[in-house]
Chain A
Amino acid sequence: GQQLNQSPQSMFIQEGEDVSMNCTSSSIFNTWLWYKQDPGEGPVLLIALYKAGELTSNGRLTAQFGTTRKDSFLNISASIPSDVGIYFCAGVTNSGYALNFGKGTSLLVTP
């Protein structure tokens, strides 16, 4: 599979702060997805992006499909303690079928 570079690896922030994380690839992707995983659970889909330049929101979360089709960004505004978890980017290339995953961004939020 294709390797996705996700950064930062971890973030430790205060409640109310905004958060940004990103994901890059050396290959062009047709689809970018963002998932959140709570400890000991399976990942849950947050946002799906299908078109270069697309900007999509889900509550306090906003994600963008980069115009080069090789990157994606996720922003979380006004973070709250329940935002704690690991956030994964995932994508599918032109020639691929199954999702390729980044290594995740671990988010800790202090009250």
Chain B
Amino acid sequence: DGGITQSPKYLFRKEGQNVTLSCEQNLNHDAMYWYRQDPGQGLRLIYYSQIVNDFQKGDIAEGYSVSREKKESFPLTVTSAQKNPTAFYLCATDRGSTEAFFGQGTRLTVV
């Protein structure tokens, strides 16, 4: 089945911990993105990658880190430096046409 898989669907983090959100795709798309969604807000871009081993900061990159070692994978680490990490995180891909396709999302909660 082709698609974008995000895991886990729900994640709980203690304050001061780093956590990593997984995003895997088998669509053979070059570009991958991470967005953050807060209630009543639109999607805000955290990081994006247009090609393997290259990525760029989005509008709200502080407190986050990414890697792109494989075309299929674009994990996002939420570090302890992110002061308000509770949010819904969405991974997306596109094949260069700007029509982004989204995963099911990961809801991160700080406890």
Q: Chain A contacts of B48 at CB under 8 A? A: 97-98
Bound Cα distance from A1 to B40, whole angstroms: 18
Bound Cα distance from A104 to B58, whole angstroms: 20
Chain-A contact segment, one of B14-22, B66-74, B78-86, B94-102: B94-102
Any B CB within 8 A of the CB of A99: yes
Any A CB within 8 A of the CB of B104: yes
Q: Chain B contacts of A92 at CB under 8 A? A: 98
Contact with A along B14-47 (1 / 0, CB 8 A): 0000000000000000000101000011111100
Chain B, residue nearest A41 (CB): B104
Interface of B is mostly: strand
Q: Chain B contacts of A40 at CB under 8 A? A: 105, 107
List residues of B whose CB falls within 8 A of some A CB. Answer: 4, 6, 33, 35, 40-45, 48, 50, 58-59, 90, 92, 98-105, 107
Q: List 22 A-B contacts (CB under 8 A).
A: A4-B42, A31-B98, A33-B99, A41-B104, A42-B90, A42-B92, A43-B102, A44-B102, A45-B101, A90-B43, A92-B98, A97-B48, A98-B33, A98-B48, A98-B58, A99-B45, A99-B98, A101-B35, A101-B42, A101-B43, A101-B44, A104-B42
